[in-house]
Amino acid sequence: MLSPAAAAVRAAAGSPAAVRGAHARILKEGLAHHPPAPAALVSAYAKSRLLPDALHLFDETPRRDIYLYSSLLAAVSHSASPELALPVLRRMLSADSLRPDHFVIASVASVSGRLRSPRLGRQLHAHFVASPYSGDDVVKSSLVDMYCKCGFPDDARKVFDSMGAKNSVVWTALVSGYASNGRGEEALQLFRSMPGRNLFAWTALISGLVKTGESVGAVELFVELRRDGVRIDDAFVLSIVIGGSADLAASVLGRQLHGSAMRLGFLSSMIVGNALIDMYSKCSDILSAREVFEGITFRDVISWTTMVVGEAQHGRAEEALALYDRMVLAGAKPNEVTFVGLIYACSHAGLVQKGRQLFESMKNEYGITPGLQHYTCYLDLLSRSGHLLEAEELMTTMPYEPDEATWGALLSACKKYNDAEMCIRIADKLLELRPKDSSTYILLSNVYAVNGKWDSVAKVRKCMIGLEIRKEPGYSWIEAGREFRLFHAGELPLDVREEIMGFLEEMVLEMRKRGYVPDTSSVMHDLEENEKEHHLFLHSERLAVAFGLIKSPPGSVIRVVKNLRVCVDCHTVMKLISEITHRKIVVRDSSRFHHFEGGKCSCSEFW
């Protein structure tokens, strides 16, 4: 029987000071190495987020039994370092010759799932089937969760079907597994057959759908949840749906969800605040994002980083850098994503020296090893600013293999700065990679054509045919009032065809008066010049902007989202239309946000 001091250990779990005090009392009584004190202490230390203390106590215990191992493995399985369970498991099997019981198997199954290690999970499952605990539903529940996290929902379903008693936890795990692995229909069917659906089950399904890009379905489910009167007493599901509206760039929906958060009393929730910042940023409304940020009482590194990245993507480099200074003064430690945003901001504003300083400080001041994304942003900064040789040297010396996008960015910069010799050298290297992106071939073809390398132009076209490279169809979408429209390049809906064509023809006449000459270099089709101009005329973002200007109230901001990078000609056209109509136009393309106003763009031609 535990002494009063040992019994106090369990009561102290969660409080570091109380656990250490209880441990000291047990040491004084000479019971520190007598079961069940070691297991209770390990568990209490882990629950107090003192895993190193738990591991140290484990190492100091001379006689380690299955209860001690079970406590430690359970603690590690829920910690930030689940990989630490593997040496502990090996030690249990070899050094102490202990066989895992059902508690150990369940903990290791959890570790396998968190590590995304199906190999370990399958080995464990085989051991479980041959063990005396093969009918244990708690272990089976852990195996269901493991297979789902490792991407094998069908294997999870087999274990699920073998279970006798199925509680809401295992139902929810399987629903989440199907949804998170792109099996939305099956997830929904399972969800519909689930007895006693609670908020956690709804949240698991909605989260899985958002994760796999099925945000429309996720929003529809949230509406159903509200209609069914399910009580929302947790902010997480709201943050997930707000994230879905961000992915859809559905600003009206996002504002409605903002209102729901207010009515439900979750505006003080940090995760909801962070989701709203991200949503408004992605919906082209950076000022509303900043307003939400300034209203958050307690900010974490995600709050700061989301706002920094948002400011950077909107071309507001000064605001992003000033925010970073505030972040540091507030005592928040920047992470890898923070520096991606900061260097990106410098790249799109041409701030070379500041970018160099940030790249060095992340290594020297914060001990963050630059990843490929950091190098890509830094290379982009050097290339855009004309430091071409330095960029090329960095590409050949960095600890990562440059990919197609990196070489393409350098080639684009060489073309911009008219360095013919370097253009050809970089183009040849890029062509050797046999690129997969159609826009890369357009760039290569243009570079070779400008430099009179017609043999290489033919080679590029031959590669495209051989690899069956097709230009990804461009599409853009817009919310105008209560209407949400999707436009594909070259296609005009019949109900608005005449209005849009008439508006764009009028704009072309006005633009030509201002010296507009179409840039047809991005059109790869073998067409006459006037046919190429007509091809540009029907680019999806122009159709969307025209629709927005026709349908929206005077003076309102036009917000468009495009799946591809805006071409040079459309960029020029957007600037001119903003000047002619005296309207602000915001276009979110695959690279960044462009704020067109008064004939200028926020990107300052850096995009």
pLDDT value for 131: 93
pLDDT value for 257: 95
CA distance 418 to 563: 29
Q: What are the residues facing 488 on neighbouring strands?
A: 475
pLDDT value for 468: 65
Model confidence at 20, in pLDDT bands (50, 70, 90)? confident
Q: pLDDT (tens digit, 9 = 90+) per residue, 66-82?
A: 998 998 999 999 988 99
Q: Is the pLDDT of residue 501 over 80?
A: yes
Q: Is the pLDDT of residue 10 over 70?
A: no
pLDDT value for 560: 94
424-428, 431-435, 494-498, 546-550: segment of lowest average pLDDT: 431-435
Q: Is the pLDDT of residue 527 over 60?
A: no
Of the candidates 205, 177, 203, the residue with the CA atom closest to the CA atom of residue 191: 205
CA distance 257 to 244: 11
What percentage of the chain has pLDDT greater than the value 70?
94
| Average pLDDT, rounded, for the chain | 89
Whether the Cβ atoms of residue 343 and residue 358 lie closer than 8 Å to each other: yes
Q: Is the pLDDT of residue 27 over 90?
A: no
Model confidence at 454, in pLDDT bands (50, 70, 90)? confident
Whether the Cβ atoms of residue 461 and residue 445 lie closer than 8 Å to each other: yes
CATH second-level architecture of 403-466? Answer: Alpha Horseshoe (1.25)
Residue-wise DSSP of 387-413: -HHHHHHHHHHSSS---HHHHHHHHHH
DSSP 563: S
pLDDT value for 276: 97
CA distance 277 to 302: 10
Q: pLDDT (tens digit, 9 = 90+) per residue, 282-308?
A: 998 999 999 999 999 899 999 999 999
CA distance 250 to 244: 9
Q: pLDDT (tens digit, 9 = 90+) per residue, 268-282?
A: 899 999 999 999 999
Higher pLDDT, 591 or 601: 601
**Which residues in 77-152 belong to E strands, given as ranges?**
none
Q: Is the pLDDT of residue 182 over 70?
A: yes
State the average pLDDT over residues 391-403.
Answer: 90
Of the candidates 169, 218, 222, the residue with the CA atom closest to the CA atom of residue 197: 169
Model confidence at 526, in pLDDT bands (50, 70, 90)? low
pLDDT value for 524: 53
Model confidence at 588, in pLDDT bands (50, 70, 90)? very high
Q: What is the pTM assigned to this prediction?
A: 0.82
CA distance 486 to 471: 19
State the average pLDDT over residues 499-506.
Answer: 94
CA distance 485 to 551: 11
Whether the Cβ atoms of residue 274 and residue 282 lie closer than 8 Å to each other: no
Q: pLDDT (tens digit, 9 = 90+) per residue, 319-375?
A: 999 999 999 999 999 999 999 999 999 988 889 999 999 999 999 999 999 999 999
Higher pLDDT, 56 or 170: 170
CA distance 242 to 495: 32
State the average pLDDT over residues 487-496.
Answer: 89
CA distance 306 to 360: 22
Model confidence at 471, in pLDDT bands (50, 70, 90)? low
Q: pLDDT (tens digit, 9 = 90+) per residue, 89-106?
A: 999 999 889 999 999 999
pLDDT value for 32: 65
State the average pLDDT over residues 430-438.
Answer: 79
pLDDT value for 578: 96
pLDDT value for 38: 80
Whether the Cβ atoms of residue 283 and residue 251 lie closer than 8 Å to each other: yes
CA distance 22 to 149: 38
CA distance 50 to 32: 18
pLDDT value for 6: 57
Of the candidates 336, 341, 300, 301, the residue with the CA atom closest to the CA atom of residue 320: 341
CA distance 172 to 395: 47
